[in-house]
A and B are shown apart, each in its own frame.
Chain A
């Protein structure tokens, strides 16, 4: 009964792509952590199991329940962010983790989803034809809160990711273009203020993005070494477990944020391009779901989730090649880390749930 309900109209394609990507991730976490304990692999495998379970629960509950409870989730995640600020565990000068005993939770990962849910619920319930600017301002308010908190942590990457998500959702909802451009102009005008809010190391990262060689052993080190790693893979790569940049620790965080440089180095252009194509396939299938539903909140939800995953991928891979500034963002499904993996699976669960209910019409 239960199984029938869940797996009827299940989007197997989407699910198997997510699983494939996660397994690829495992392969490279194995390479990146070779010589260390097996702990990383085992924990990531555990997270995958948990992720699949959570995905099934999400599909079982259905995206509508999530939309209904969107504001509660939203409030809860804001609360978690406040908690992080008070009691959180700091690492590398930032407080991002909540220590829950066995695991450390990174609430900003979940906050992205709950904000998307809240935006989808809010915008989906209002027509762009009525009280347009009020809706626009209120929607901005929904985003501003978590953005401010995360910026305060500070987590530049997760802060920046809110902006494209917000714009994509507003755009698909039907926001007037001049409003969108106006916001952009406002943002540009507010840049100096924003610059002042940044921590010293974040400023350096941005400056280094413009020219990594101004500080090759400091802030530019990651950018340069990661680019060398990716490039040195050339067409066919140095072979799995054979990446010297990876093995000899030239790339920092190579099992989390910089995992793509390991893939690029070891599997070369062929492997890295294959990975990107897999991502594109996943995203393409996900966007198809949006075309098949007439439910506005559902379509907005798809837009939000898709843009969240896309911009994670774009910024993450871009930064390993020096196309993007170094922003501490994980590569969805691939990077080591429970919070990111589980929120990705929740996202896929929501998409599958929307897919299942498309046959309403």
Chain B
């Protein structure tokens, strides 16, 4: 009897086994099958190499270079090698152990001990590698900016893709280790430079060793970009700045391509991409003069007397004045007898002024008088047509200036516009603020007379030219004044004068919210057949004519210098030089820049 019970128990046990088997293989089977696939299949992302950035002469502004990381496979590392490894890498043993401990959660993945090691360390490691079991050298492509701080804001830099960007990445264009442009062209044309990532689907064994490749998607290299910038000019200008803060921009009037774009103080963008320079980032971010801000594109300032050009054009358009109209300047201006006086910068008064001389000497009183005759909206309309506060064609992120009028004030402050405000407006003070880029483009428009040059950084050719809706005769009259600003001995911009050609421009000294006044000097040259428009802005530079004018004088000389040398080089070695640059500059399809605007 008991023996029969024993036999029954046995059958029961086998039934249990079969039931368990059924549950594991049939019920849980599909889930466990996926797990086994997950076990053996690894996706190895392959990052596409990023396109390079060149200046107009084929000079490298941004490229990628290999950086060497020393990693270990924790499972293969012999603990007795730790002290030696720590010595070679110049990090503490505890640090290594900590890193290994932290990485324990992901098995068989290399743990990075040192990023971006120098070549000497690399050679030391390579030498000892036969003894160092589990130590591997991983090559990573990192960005490099040869010009460093000389073109930092413009070229920009890249940074690690953020978790948020990865989460929102519906097209799957990012991989977890990707770099994304964070500033300048790197940011603005990220999608062009980026290329297409690929990947490998590989089978691995239990120790993570690759056994075979199951499928592969090839990477597609990002496209190279050639800028309109002249790297040499850019460098020279940066050097001329010395310790001043501010902006110098120069634009080729034939195309609208920007030849130089310097914002000071600057920073070395390599700090953000070189793993070995991680520590410098914090210091840079805390710098009180905000070197990361592109003062030409991402900051607005009152334009000061440069705005008198706009006021003049508005008054001419409304027939409030003509070439012969004159006002008397005795050093100040009152809206009504006994009201608060608006001062001219020249306390003793300019005496009788007409439009040309008022521009030449930057007489405030003359423009106060114009301001009295104009509506704010009339000034604003002219300013907007000249591109102030308007959209740009540049391929990088920028902000717009503020061109106020009655409606703006009503909306912003729920208050009416007072006439006194128009008086300040007329000389470029008050609520008005612009970016240096906007002023440079305005100077370009005056030079061309009939159109607004499409300011841009990427050499792409066909950019739509916007017609300038201002009377050319009026502009020509204003230009007479601008000519005198530089070329006349009464002109406020005479320090900008150069001896090899005629220039036209306008100085400005604008009241800053705090601290010394800002100095402006904007213009174009040569006067007869303008090739280049420029803007020079010195933050808290006190005097437009003195500080900005003198700086621009040096800049124009440097420009001339490079032009001469360029011509010489072309004569000396024509064919070979050109040929060499060809592949770099062959940028067939124009890059659409519509998507990079804010």
Contacts and interface: CB of A to CB of B under 8 A. Distances in A.
Given A248-B206, A287-B10, A321 B33 contact: no
Contacts of B18: 273, 276
Contact of A232 (B33, B107, B204): B33
Interface string B390-432: 0000000000000000000000000000000000000000000
Interface stretch (B24-32, B161-169, B458-466, B571-579): B24-32
A104 interface: no
B352 interface: no
Contact-size category for B: 35 or more
Interface stretch (B35-43, B125-133, B512-520): B35-43
B29 A250 contact: no
A317 interface: yes
A279 B107 contact: no
Interface string B199-218: 00001111100010000000
A25 interface: no
Nearest to A310: B10
Contacts of B587: none
A69 interface: no
A310 B16 CA distance: 12
Nearest to B35: A228
19 contacts: A171-B2, A174-B2, A230-B25, A231-B29, A232-B29, A234-B26, A234-B29, A234-B33, A248-B40, A250-B40, A265-B36, A269-B26, A279-B14, A280-B11, A284-B7, A287-B3, A287-B6, A314-B17, A323-B17
Contacts of B25: 230-231, 233-235, 264, 268-269, 272
Contact of A248 (B2, B26, B211): B211
Nearest to B15: A280
B24 to A, nearest CB: 5
Contacts of B205: 248-250
**Chain B at the A interface: mostly helix, strand, loop or mixed?**
helix
Nearest to B23: A321
B20 A323 contact: yes
Contact of B20 (A249, A284, A306, A321): A321
Contacts of A303: 3, 6
A172 B3 contact: yes
A276 B22 CA distance: 12
Interface in A52-81: none
B28 A245 contact: no
A269 B22 contact: yes
Nearest to A303: B6
Nearest to A323: B20
B21 A314 contact: no
Given A245-B36, A287-B10, A313 B29 contact: no
B13 interface: yes
Interface of B: 2-7, 10-11, 13-14, 16-18, 20-22, 24-26, 28-33, 35-37, 39-40, 107, 203-207, 211
A299 interface: yes
Interface string A262-303: 001100110011001001100110010011000000010001
A140 interface: no
Contacts of A229: 36
Interface string A154-189: 000000000000001001101000000000000000
A311 to B, nearest CB: 8
Contact of A264 (B5, B7, B21): B21
A272 B21 contact: yes
A231 B206 contact: no
Contacts of B16: 314, 323
Contact of A244 (B26, B30, B36): B36
B33 A231 contact: yes
Given A231-B24, A321-B21, A245 B39 contact: yes
